[in-house]
Structure 1
Amino acid sequence: MPSRLMTQAMRWFGPSDPIPLAHIRQAGATEVVTALHHLPNGVVWPRAEIAAHRALIEAAGLAWTTVESVPVHEAIKTAGPERDELFDNYAATLRHLAAEGITTVTYNFMPLLDWTRTDLAWELPDGARALRFELEAVAAYDIHILRRPGAAGDYTPETIEAAARRHAAMDDDARRHLERTIIAGLPGSEESFTSGQFLAAIQTYADTGPERLRANHIAFLEAMCPVAEECGIQLVVHPDDPPFPIFGLPRMVSTEADVTALFDAVPSAANGLCFCTGSFGVRADNDLPGMVQRLGSRIGFFHLRSVQREPNGAFHEAAHLEGSADMVEVVDEIVRLQQRENRSIVMRPDHGHQMIDDLTKVTNPGYSLLGRMRGLAELRGLERGLLHRKANGR
């Protein structure tokens, strides 16, 4: 049986992305993962628009089999009165995507915010820039700028004290910058807010605690998985980023137990996982290689990156083979999975550093070209080295 390699992809945000498709191809990717980002949440994606998007990609010599992402409308997450109509729209979008050759659809079930960071240009010792998350910065915004009722009850006394010092040291520009960084929308996020809008949106989750959010997630899967099965699509859920509650909002895809609960509730093969080593890796209690081994049959897409965990709940994006994750062991388990199941799984290097010439260019935070190209080269070399060692009985 021939060795199976991961399918190497990069994320592309469409024609407005400062990284052109030609550069993605030159970086070594054979596919892109992308979406129709210009369409509002909850509407049906027209087949003609999907076909036009695919034609652009294929004209550049690349393939498109994985969507990232078809957003789940907030009214689905809260079981709002328009949920059934939104289910119908989502099902129609899945059918249109399948008709255009899409086999994997990524989504997440995080309330209101997608991925969250507090610094989009944190300087590393080598001069490159990374994304970073500081819990005390979140607390400073939550307690002193957003002024969410009851916010202080979600933090330790030490974090509250540090947040007060942090807020007092910021001028108005720094406070506005922190606000924009947290809630103005990051690449791939489909929503953005002002603080007033965000505070009002949080109130829509007043009756949606952790168990209700999980129940609503299961209801979504029960409605969508039969459609996905029918048209040959696997739905893959992206884990929470970061993998714990923030702003009083529950998050329920943060651990192996969370994912297993979803699989047990909806055992359909169409109910899959986008395994993000960075999101899961923020928690030291997530055993990344073991999770790949145990959840592997349901994994349909990999985001490979490593974070460096710091004290007091902070973390930053490390180089792809460094940081707190044992990426050698993770990729070794992926190699075993692909050989065991005789399939190639789409992988993209996630959240590269802004570095070299990209430091002087306009880039989407986390999605500059050179940092991701470095990550792709390192991960590809690691995978091939592991395969070579196994082929030679070592």
Structure 2
Amino acid sequence: MKKQMTKTIFLVDMNAFFITCEMKRTPSLKGNPAAVAGDPERRSGIILAANYEARALGIKTTMTVQQALRLCPGLILVPPDHAYYSHVSRQVMLYLSRYSPVIEQNSIDEAWMDMTGTENLFGSAPEAAKKIMQGLIEELDLWCSIGISSNKFLAKMASEMKKPLGITELQIKDVPTKLWPLPVGYMYGVGMKTSDALNKLNIFTIEDLAKSDRQKLMRHFGKAAVTMYDHAHGIDHDPVTDRSPTDIKSIGKSVTLSKDITRLAEAKSVLLKLSDDVSTRARMKQKKGHTVQITLKYSDFRVITRQCQVSQTNLPKQIFLAGSALLDECWNPKKPIRLIGIALTDFEDSDTGKQLSLFDIDKSDFKNMETDTEIRDERLQQAVDLIRNKFGKNIVSRASLMKENAATEENKDK
């Protein structure tokens, strides 16, 4: 019987990605404490990413700008540019594809790679990791840390153990000595609430979790307990899966506001810009959806979601109208909002999202549209897309958004 080849899995994690992107295009930031922040001009909002010079001074992600400036009055603050970070992220994924055809992007700044069987091409796993790291530095001027293991979970945990520019190998045999002593909240997939709940059960370390009663865990955490328990033993059967555009279940955008808002008109202004961004990305991915969903996070951190069905669309006007109606239904001026999000989902499996040429459009192409208004909207958006593709995203904007700059953007394709 042929012995099954042991898997070799990498997790490539870009170090301090947002601020490193900014240092890449503005080299004068290098060597100075700098951070990407919510609203540098107003000196408000939160720190989204800090470089290692800033971190050495105690500046951390999610710290308020005011707190950061008290620690380091000379801190250089840079406004976020998520379109640019997404562009650089695509460059990173394209670079990684030279080493493996099976890449699963976990977020904008990290991805798993199945490197099984590549030894003859790139050498041992540590040697291949060094080549990847050095290439990212030389070609893209970016830093990364790489975790190496036989499964995704351990590779992810390994990638967190040495930053920046760390290459760490963590195998099943290492779990008792390297993983078990860590706090349970350090484990990938265990959030703050779950960590607190585990602590109440006298589970404080990953070893405590590994040696706890599995059935008792399931009574408290349901099916999630199975994954947590397996992970505590270093077990993960989830394969690295190359996700194609057809696997995208939703296209969404959310903003963490630079200040809590209580005015509906202000919330709708933010929602209008989000709808335009979601629409642009949906058309880029040739997706049209039947469901619009909004997400609101209140100042007390309570989160609600609302959704509704719409005629198949990827137009900003239709997305915004649906989101605006949902916002009207659940708006409470006595509850300040700190985050707003909107998403388009429930995509068609067919090629109904195929883009048409702006200058070669026939009425028959729009036989499924209900009104001439929709035809005009479709043509208008295609014109806008062409102009933005040629001259840049910000060259065309809705008049009501020209003075709007109150939010920090966060992308999320699922």
- Which structure: greater strand fraction? 2
Q: Which has the larger radius of gyration?
A: 2
Shorter-chain TM-score: which interval? under 0.3
TM-score, normalization: structure 2?
A: 0.27
Q: Taking CA–CA contacts closer than 8 Å with sequence separation of 6 or more, which of the two structures ends up with the larger relative contact order?
A: 1
Q: TM-score, normalised by structure 1?
A: 0.28
